Structure 1
Amino acid sequence: MTNVFSEEKPEVLDYIEKLEKNNHIDPELFDKYKVNRGLRDLNGNGVLTGLTEISEIMSFIMDGDQRINCDGQLYYRGINVQDLVKGFVKEKRFGFEEATYLLLFGELPNKQDLDIFVKVLSHYRTLPTSFVRDIIMKAPSRDMMNTLARSVLTLYSYDDRASDTSIPNVLRQSLELIALFPLLAVYGYQAYCHYELGQSLYIHSPQPELSTAENILYLLRPDSKYTELEARILDIALVLHAEHGGGNNSTFTCHVVTSSGTDTYSAIAAALGSLKGPKHGGANIKVCEMFEDMKKNVNDWNDEEEISIYLRKLLHKEAFDKAGLIYGMGHAIYSKSDPRAEVFKKFVRNLAEEKGRMDEFALYSNVERLAPLIISDERKMYKGVSANVDFYSGFVYHMLELPTELYTPIFAIARISGWSAHRIEELLNAGKIIRPAYRNVHERREYIPINER
């Protein structure tokens, strides 16, 4: 089929010119009408649009009228994530299932509750008959997030109660999606490798006795083998990515779409579309690419001066992608520290030792220490800057030999827990459809008959 809007056709340029001419809004108008662009105020704080009990992000404390930046904290249902991780790590358990239970039901499970919940997820970890053959393997996409979204939307057709938004049914759908996301992502990647890259096709069945993290590695690797440390660090990554307040773009998208009264599959597919964006879920890929360029251009990874020169080049748009950014540094909310990065770093070193990549870990550590100093020296800062969770997660995924195509889907495999909790919270507290206001700034004019234009 011929694409009438092919880039080769000259009339497309005419359309683009019209688009640019007739859609430009004077930036000064946003200030004039006090528009909170990006739903943030002039200080970068998120505009309050709802209430939640699911998670809390703390980056500052108030002393009277004075705002004081503090080390970042993240709470799941009132429990500090650092304590949550410390708890299951100390007991040598996998934690993602426990974190998911906590996010969904609002309390920590006892051993019996957790055992039953794990069995429920295992029960749901089975795709409909021939789904892999008929859906995933046909027309494989080069982008796994598109594959994941298409699979989620297609599951609507296999659900006899797809549009039922009663809480028991939505919970059932949520548990199924939480259980199936690893299969949908990994199988989509395997199909892509086989049909697009000509590689051998491996389709392993999930194992009921394995955790979510273990099953991801079991499904992905041709020999299904992995070390205990690999699985435990991937599990921690899933816990840290499972939820991050109701205001992040994909979770807010889930709230917005849910408020319309639509089905679970549509709401989750919309959240996936948001997470796919490079400003949201794809940041860790940029971190990895930046470090690959850095390793080529910095000869001595322990030379602070040489590293600093490269970092300044990044800020001056003279290195890597010329975007003027040091990827993995800074966060929209956190200032002094991102608690997820703080938790992650403790385990990254162990994995680097196991993989024999301590030289790279040293480079990451040097950049983490030097970048905030250089950024504050080069630019006017309104709050502190520190390494965010993406700074180390890409390095971890690379050491786990996860393909970059699965970096953002791994994020989705974790965040589906938070999305599900927020969808249920929105339904239980259903109010008005979420509909923010936009002010029109175009002058009014008369209609002109076509022969007079």
Structure 2
Amino acid sequence: MDSKSMMELTKELDAEFDNLVNNCMTSGAIDLNLYQEYDVKRGLRDSAGKGVLTGLTEISDVVGFQVVDGVKEPADGKLYYQGYDVKQLVGSDPQKRFAFEEATYLLLFGRLPNETEFKVFREILASLQELSGPFVRDVIMKAPSENLMNGLMKSVLTLYSYDSCPDDISVANVLRQSLQLIAKLPLIAVYSYHAYRHFTFAESLVIKQPKNEYCTAENILYMLRPNGKFTPLEARVLDAALVLHAEHGGGNNSTFTNHVVTSSGTDTYSAVAASIASLKGPRHGGANLKVQQMFDDLRANCTDTTDDDQVRGYLSKVLNREAFDKSGLIYGMGHAVYTLSDPREVVLKSLAEKLAEEKGLRQDFELYDRVETISADLLQKNRHVLKPVCANVDFYSGFVYTMLGIPREMFTPLFAISRIAGWSAHRLEELVNRGKIIRPAYKYVGHHRRFTERSKRK
């Protein structure tokens, strides 16, 4: 076949594929009024936006309002891990280390460790974190992906082949697997980043072994940076960020995914890979990256970012789908549960301010604060929302990571590195309680039709 005929064939196939796309769009479209007619809780949320109750948990409590005389009223948000306020777990000591490891112990075992228990727990994690040379060479280094979350999924699924009893879902075995994944995921993420930059942009490839005496946050900074150096405040801020992202109730998308997949009786690696796949989505774990991109666009379109009127004008255009990605969303603003404040954002904002002072980036911090204030006002007025609108944890997390010199490719993997603590706790809780397979119902709204032989179809 000559090249002309091949081009004609390609055009013909492209046209046929377009027809298939149109058929898919037509076939898949459901009348949205039917959701109301059948009282379907779309997205497992009721008409007021409240999550449908699908399970019970003791792992964490997300509180966004208070009840006064039987009436729900806005309140400053609270987040509890196994009954403890997350703000206390992060702590106020600027020299505090291993807050993430302590929070992980708490999430998994339901109580805070004493000094001896914590020392043993740290030693266990340190003994499990190393990755073998063949695994790094044959799995991480081969075909690295631009989106590191895919690399994380690939590596986690491949670890199944390195496990002598991967399908054993006894609590003892799943706990062993969970601790291994918690210990190894920081290395997988950092090594995946270095492999991607090396093979895509010909950057130097330096793979460092973690240090046993370092906490997770310190090891991430050490392995990421060419010189391996960091300040105590930098490590402290990242450690706190890991704590704040470690858990957020059983109903968030990636944790609920873990519950659903775990309830089928599948292996740990598949359950964690499914959670990573969920977290990859820009509606979930990728939101902080969208915040950073939005601020890039704001700076490009405002000649003076200290001018409230200019910033307000830009944000109004964002809401009117005239600026940035035309979605009408001010990323990092609003939350499904929190009303007056997101406790994670409150802590992270305070740490961001301290880090900005150390980095000489006070003006950048003030811009974030300005956008937060103006956005809350605009959303309240323009969207006629029934509850106050606060910034969520994603608003400042990307800014913090940027000040720490963490590349944007690592933003969502960092979320996974911390949230795997919560995923593991919820998987174990699902197994301990021997829950039924999670199987919600879908209402059929199509039509039954008579079958016709292919030769007789028009």
1:60 aligned counterpart, secondary structure: strand
The answer as to whether partners of 1:249 and 1:275 remain within 8 angstroms in 2 is yes
Match for 2:184: what amino acid? L
Give the match for residue 36 of structure 1: 41
2:64 aligned counterpart, secondary structure: strand
Matched, 1:269 2:267: no
Kindly report which structure 2 residues correspond to 1:326-345, keeping only aligned pairs within 5 A, or say none.
Answer: 326-345=330-349
Report how far residue 300 of structure 1 moved.
Answer: 2.5
Report how far residue 6 of structure 1 moved.
Answer: 11
User: Between the two proteins, what is the percent identity of the paired residues?
Assistant: 56
Distance 1:6 1:261 in 2: 46
Matched, 1:304 2:304: no
Report how far residue 298 of structure 1 moved.
Answer: 2.1
Match for 1:25: what amino acid? I
Kindly report which structure 2 residues correspond to 1:87-106, keeping only aligned pairs within 5 A, or say none.
Answer: 89=93, 92-106=96-110
Give the match for residue 147 of structure 1: 151
1:9 aligned counterpart, secondary structure: helix
Change (3 A) 1:357 1:181: same
Match for 1:243: what amino acid? E
Give the match for residue 159 of structure 1: 163
Report how far residue 94 of structure 1 moved.
Answer: 2.8
Match for 1:247: what amino acid? G
The answer as to whether partners of 1:218 and 1:226 remain within 8 angstroms in 2 is yes
Distance 2:133 2:195 in 1: 17
Report the more deviating stretch, 162-171 or 379-388: 379-388
| 1:244-298 deviation digits (Å, cap 9, x = unpaired) | 0000000000000000000000000000000000000000001001111111222
Distance 1:352 1:407 in 2: 18
Report how far residue 314 of structure 1 moved.
Answer: 1.0
Match for 1:315: what amino acid? L
Matched, 1:131 2:132: no
1:155 aligned counterpart, secondary structure: helix
Match for 2:32: what amino acid? P
Report the more deviating stretch, 254-263 or 300-309: 300-309
Structure 2 unaligned blocks of 5 or more: 1-5
Report how far residue 243 of structure 1 moved.
Answer: 0.1
Distance 2:288 2:157 in 1: 26
Give the match for residue 24 of structure 1: 29
1:261 aligned counterpart, secondary structure: coil
Report how far residue 299 of structure 1 moved.
Answer: 2.5
Give the match for residue 3 of structure 2: none
Give the TM-score of the pair, scaled to structure 1: 0.97
Give the match for residue 391 of structure 1: 395
1:396 aligned counterpart, secondary structure: helix
Distance 1:315 1:407 in 2: 25
Give the match for residue 119 of structure 2: 115
Kindly report which structure 2 residues correspond to 1:239-278, keeping only aligned pairs within 5 A, or say none.
Answer: 239-278=243-282
Distance 1:6 1:166 in 2: 55
Kindly report which structure 2 residues correspond to 1:309-328, keeping only aligned pairs within 5 A, or say none.
Answer: 309-328=313-332
Distance 1:267 1:38 in 2: 21
The answer as to whether partners of 1:301 and 1:359 remain within 8 angstroms in 2 is no
Match of 2:72 among 67, 70, 80: 67
2:247 aligned counterpart, secondary structure: coil
Runs of 4+ in 1 over 4 A off after TM superposition: 4-8
2:201 aligned counterpart, secondary structure: coil
The answer as to whether partners of 1:368 and 1:387 remain within 8 angstroms in 2 is yes
Match for 1:394: what amino acid? G
| 1:285-325 deviation digits (Å, cap 9, x = unpaired) | 01001111111222223222221111111111121111111
Match of 2:226 among 222, 247, 259: 222
Give the match for residue 363 of structure 2: 359
Report the more deviating stretch, 116-125 or 298-307: 298-307
Structure 1 unaligned blocks of 5 or more: none
Distance 1:322 1:104 in 2: 42
Distance 2:59 2:12 in 1: 46
Distance 1:8 1:394 in 2: 43
Report how far residue 226 of structure 1 moved.
Answer: 1.0
Give the match for residue 426 of structure 1: 430
Distance 2:433 2:150 in 1: 31
Distance 2:17 2:69 in 1: 57
Change (3 A) 1:406 1:6: farther
Report how far residue 14 of structure 1 moved.
Answer: 1.3
Report the more deviating stretch, 443-452 or 43-52: 443-452
Report how far residue 93 of structure 1 moved.
Answer: 2.8
Matched, 1:202 2:211: no
Change (3 A) 1:131 1:8: farther
Distance 1:90 1:284 in 2: 25
Distance 2:43 2:119 in 1: 42
Match for 1:390: what amino acid? D
The answer as to whether partners of 1:6 and 1:12 remain within 8 angstroms in 2 is no
Report the more deviating stretch, 31-40 or 224-233: 224-233
1:160 aligned counterpart, secondary structure: coil
